[in-house]
Chain A
């Protein structure tokens, strides 16, 4: 294609476009949307997790997950726009914190292994994964308004964000709040799985999928 052909092609397709919303707006809207979808899904079965927790646990758990969501939202909001810097420390936070949270309960895992616990854990993990898919689908529609230069990075970042949304939802509806091994495997495990599924979705998605 010659330069003149390229120019006429671009001019032919020229339509006014609305610039992307500001970075701070996107950073705030993303976790709010994730939390809203997650809370809505948790409301279907009742907020048993919320009821089972004492007020101190609530004060520790929900703001912690909300903080992680906000941190990940900063990353995703920056990814939507080419040329925004991506400090490596942000990646470290976004990936390491869920990983560290996973390591802690793994140490307490072995004494709690009985068949009933396993079955409940698998069910809870399955529901969490379904919630992740719903949050992911809900966010992906709006997120594709941006332009993700790297589809693998986009998939991973959005996957972790949606996974954290699912984690928030699980902490609302799952009545098992005091067992660290369960939270570690069945709840935080969803975040880690979400990141991996997101990466694979990014790697194998058709070209242009992440950009509307």
Chain B
């Protein structure tokens, strides 16, 4: 099948032309990318899946703003990033008006707990400052290059490198402290 080897850029261009097969393929290709990105930030499967759905609705509304030929990932991540920020703000606003109640039990199919190693990494990542965590998530979970992260964040490659370096140093220090505590 020819569409199987098409890249995201080509699929996005076909999506703009209302190509149904390309759209389905694009959804299957982009979903894991978005999920990894959101999971890296929220470390919660359900929340990450909800964010993926919301991001798709926005991508659909904004599909005409992708210009064929340009890299698709910065475009996609920019929408994803603001989806995350908007939903976070909305939740923050609504939680101030809500009365806290017990969390409902997690459905059985979601109960598969992450491995111990993952829990450790998630905990460590959560301790990093937001700007450093964001750079690490984009580079390591989403696989973006330094240049792509810099474009996406409106920053320079040097600044992104510095943030990543600081994040690695902080992680190293946290791991050392943990080991020393054992």
With a cutoff of 8 Å between Cβ atoms, the chain B residues found around residue A150 in the complex are 82
Which residues of B (1-39) have their CB < 8 Å from a CB of A? 16-18, 20, 23-24, 27, 31
Q: Are A83 and B154 in contact (CB under 8 A)?
A: no
With a cutoff of 8 Å between Cβ atoms, the chain B residues found around residue A13 in the complex are 60
Q: Are A16 and B17 in contact (CB under 8 A)?
A: yes
Q: Are B62 and A15 in contact (CB under 8 A)?
A: no
A-B contact count (CB 8 A): 83
With a cutoff of 8 Å between Cβ atoms, the chain A residues found around residue B154 in the complex are 85-88
For A134-146 the 0/1 string (1 means CB < 8 A from B) is 0000000000011
Residues of A contacting B: mostly: loop
For B141-156 the 0/1 string (1 means CB < 8 A from A) is 0000000001110110
Considering the complex, give the chain A residue whose CB is closest to the CB of B60.
Answer: A10
The chain B residues found within 8 Å of chain A, CB to CB, are: 16-18, 20, 23-24, 27, 31, 53, 56, 60-68, 70-71, 74-79, 81-82, 150-152, 154-155
A14 and B23 in contact, given A3-B31, A83-B152, A149-B82 (Cβ under 8 angstroms): yes
The answer to whether A17 has its CB under 8 Å from any CB of chain B is yes
Q: Are B27 and A211 in contact (CB under 8 A)?
A: no
Number of interface residues of A (CB under 8 A): 31
Q: Are A81 and B65 in contact (CB under 8 A)?
A: yes
What are the nearest 3 A-B pairs in CB distance? A147-B62, A83-B75, A83-B74
Q: Are A19 and B68 in contact (CB under 8 A)?
A: yes
With a cutoff of 8 Å between Cβ atoms, the chain A residues found around residue B155 in the complex are 88
Q: Are B65 and A11 in contact (CB under 8 A)?
A: no
Q: Are B82 and A6 in contact (CB under 8 A)?
A: no
A82 and B65 in contact, given A1-B53, A6-B27, A10-B60 (Cβ under 8 angstroms): yes
Distance in angstroms between the alpha carbons of A16 and B13 in the assembled complex: 10
The answer to whether A22 has its CB under 8 Å from any CB of chain B is yes
With a cutoff of 8 Å between Cβ atoms, the chain B residues found around residue A87 in the complex are 154
A14 and B20 in contact, given A6-B27, A82-B75, A83-B76 (Cβ under 8 angstroms): yes
Q: Are A19 and B151 in contact (CB under 8 A)?
A: no
Q: Are B151 and A82 in contact (CB under 8 A)?
A: no
